[in-house]
Structure 1
Amino acid sequence: MDRVDQMLLLMQQQQQMMVTTMQQQQQMMATMMGAMAQNIGVPQPTPPGQPSPGSNVGNLFERFQRYRPPTFAGTHRPEEAEYWLNRVTKLLRPLHCTEAKSVELLSYLFEKEADLWWESVLRSIPEGHVWTWGEFEARFNVKYLPQTYQHERENEFLRLQQGGMSVAQYENHFTELSRYASEMIASEAIKMRRFTAGLRSDIRSKICCVNIRTYAELVEMSIKAEQDEERVT
């Protein structure tokens, strides 16, 4: 073997040693990073079948519980069921969670008869079903707010007049009862006409000639007309 061949062989051996050394260093670095992750608490992959931290409904429920939501054991009095649903719905709003999560949170509040009913509902739907709020509310209403009760509230809405109430009180009742007559006020224009018809004549006469474009503006103008009337008297 001449001198040139010897030099080439030596260079190849040196290159092979460098590659081996780099591989060893990479392996050592990976081992060190794994140890550091365990020591400083870097999140590791979530085991199959377990929710990842921060994304499960448990954290939302802890926040929800701070508002002390009332439980629901079922009732044969529709007004009690309606009051409960309205109350917990308001408590859900600050959480800004999805409709499916909202349904799941409320399901934790069911007790006794209501819990048995909910379990029967869950058995009747496909596994992995994603709930919408409208679907949940429809199921709840069928069980606890029968058609006779809803028809009574619908008729109450149709008969609603301001009478001795303030405009603000009248508007609260109007909004509450309008849920049972949504088909009758399908557009904002119809809703505005129905609201105006229920106002006292003295207030209605003050806004009838004003160009009002939205329901919110109608309520605002009605309150202003009421305040003007009070100043005069």
Structure 2
Amino acid sequence: MASQGVHADPVAIMHESGESTEGSVAPASAGGVKIGQEGVGADAPLPPGGAPVAELPAYAQIFQLAFQAQAQAQAKLLAQAQAPTPSPAPVVPTIDRNYERIRKMGAIEFEGTLDPEVSERWWEKVEDVMNLVGCTPENRLKYIVSLFVGNALIWWRSLKRAYEQKEITWAEFQIEFDDKYRPKMYRDKKRMEFLNLMQGDEQTVAEYELHFAALAKYDPEAIATQEDRCYRFE
């Protein structure tokens, strides 16, 4: 019997029994993985998904990269949502050079007058200039009004108030201007002058033709056909 407190050496016991420590295999661990000289055995259990344990770090790396990409995308969307909306570029107003052009071509300011012939000469000059510039009917009104000063400008402002919120058309403005500065009485007088026009003994054909053309606008129906015009020159 061994003395109390003395333990037997297990390695010595194995040598005495003739067993070698080399190549010995330890019992299976609680997890079922056999530990031997080669480490993890070939029949080690697979993790969920079928990948060996040794490949788990690669999967973890893929998951990490995917997570980072998603986080970056979310951060980008958040930054875009929080970014201030850029202010629209300022609109540079277009400068209408025709206001300056019609003045350079001879259209003068109109102060208003009680003499219909003065008003008529001014109107005809302005219309000739606007025809050369190529003004549309919509633009004629604003160009003519831009020439108004003094009493003419006061009249125009009063006319706008009379129309209230309604836009005045070019045709309406022509009628209003005629009623104010070329009244019906004046136009009727000129019409009768045209109808009674005859070439005098002291008047040349060229002078008569010029006078005829100046008055013909007051009664265009009287010379609507070529026959009518020839009759007036007999």
What's the TM-score bracket when you normalise by the shorter of the two chains? 0.5 to 0.7
Distance in 2 between the 1:3 and 1:97 partners?
81
Aligned to 1:102: 140
Larger radius of gyration: 2
TM-score normalised by structure 1 residue count? 0.60
Aligned to 1:62: 100
Distance in 1 between the 2:100 and 2:74 partners?
53
CA RMSD across the alignment:
3.6
| Structure 1, unpaired ranges of 5+ | 36-42, 47-51, 201-233
Aligned to 1:164: 204
Once the two structures are TM-superposed, the CA of residue 94 in structure 1 deviates from its matched residue by 2.8
Alignment check: 8 A CA contact 2:112 2:150 kept: yes
Aligned to 1:192: 226
Seq. identity, %: 25
Alignment check: 8 A CA contact 2:222 2:228 kept: no
Aligned to 2:34: none
1:100-179 alignment runs, 5 A limit: 100-127=138-165, 129-132=167-170, 134-161=171-198, 164-166=204-206, 170=209, 172-179=210-217
Secondary structure of the structure 2 residue equivalent to 1:97:
coil
Secondary structure of the structure 1 residue equivalent to 2:205:
coil
Alignment check: 8 A CA contact 2:116 2:186 kept: yes
User: How many residue pairs align between the two structures?
Assistant: 175
Aligned to 1:44: 89
Say which structure, 1 or 2, has more relative contact order (CA 8 Å, 6+ apart). 1
Distance in 1 between the 2:230 and 2:178 partners?
30
Tell me if 1:16 matches 2:70: yes
**Of Structure 1 and Structure 2, which has the larger fraction of its residues in helix?**
1
Secondary structure of the structure 2 residue equivalent to 1:166:
helix
Distance in 2 between the 1:179 and 1:3 partners?
101
Secondary structure of the structure 1 residue equivalent to 2:97:
helix
Distance in 1 between the 2:64 and 2:72 partners?
12
Deviations 1:184-203 (A, max 9, x none): 45xxxx33222111224xxx
Once the two structures are TM-superposed, the CA of residue 159 in structure 1 deviates from its matched residue by 2.8
TM-score normalised by structure 2 residue count? 0.60
Secondary structure of the structure 1 residue equivalent to 2:130:
helix
Distance in 2 between the 1:90 and 1:197 partners?
29
Deviations 1:17-51 (A, max 9, x none): 66479769989xx99xx89xxxxxxx9333xxxxx
Aligned to 1:229: none
| Structure 2, unpaired ranges of 5+ | 1-46, 48-55
Alignment check: 8 A CA contact 1:157 1:177 kept: yes
